[in-house]
Amino acid sequence: MTRLSVNINKIATIRNARGGNVPDVEKAAVDIEGFGAEGITVHPRPDERHIRYADVRALKKLIKTEFNIEGNPIPSFVDLVCEVRPDQVTLVPDGHDAITSNAGWDTVKNRDFLTEMVQKFQSCGIRVSIFIDPKPEMAVGAALCGADRVELYTAGYAEDYPKDREKAIEPYLRTAEKARELGLGLNAGHDLSLENLEYFIRTIPWTDEVSIGHALISDALYMGLEKTVQAYLSKIKIF
């Protein structure tokens, strides 16, 4: 069964735009779990423009489902993750000035570095997922680095889905099949939405987890947070 992990960065973005503590990020995380989500994802960046390092520490004490921290493993991020010890860390090759994640790792060129990071986090008892583009060779590279899972960067799928969904998902299916062949767990995330999520899960039903933030929080402006979480769950609980 695929799990829904809700990325709450956008809630923190709204809070930070005004200062103070409205909306309350910690309460939102607890409520989202209560509405049925099976995980909470955060992506702290060095400039703390949304989730802050202090938020990560506070959330660890509250989250009862799976806690996933994603980000570029710069020294401060590594220290934070090893301190907090979430259930999962997702390694993402973000530049410091990236608006949002825009590419997966080249797991071949960065094999030595990623292997070091995987071993570091696993030694802290943390499951490690590597964010990759939909290329089977990147899944092979992730396996050689010792990763537990890969997360497919699904922006391309979301962009091409309205034009030709079968063509859009084809490279994701090939990469997912390779990951399964290698014994890797499979996550997916970026621009997944109520429009395109169910087809992705029907085509790749062995997906372990989807991490969804921007679309879900945007939908919640109209539908409310509880109904939105349940709407997304209905798209993945289809078997």
Query: Is 43 known to be catalytic?
Result: yes
Query: Is 214 known to be catalytic?
Result: no
| Annotated catalytic residue, options 33, 151, 190, 209 | 190
Best CA proximity match to 220, nearest among 2, 21, 23: 23
Cα 34 from chain centroid? 20
Handedness of CA 182, 131, 28, 87 (dihedral sign): positive
Query: Is 70 known to be catalytic?
Result: yes
| Annotated catalytic residue, options 33, 66, 70, 209 | 70
Tokens 């939102």 found at: 28
Residue 115: CB atoms within 10 Å: 16
- What amino acid occupies position 129? S
Tokens of 81: 């993750």
| Annotated catalytic residue, options 33, 43, 50, 66 | 43
Tokens of 97: 């000035």
Task: Supply the residues annotated as catalytic.
Answer: 43, 70, 190
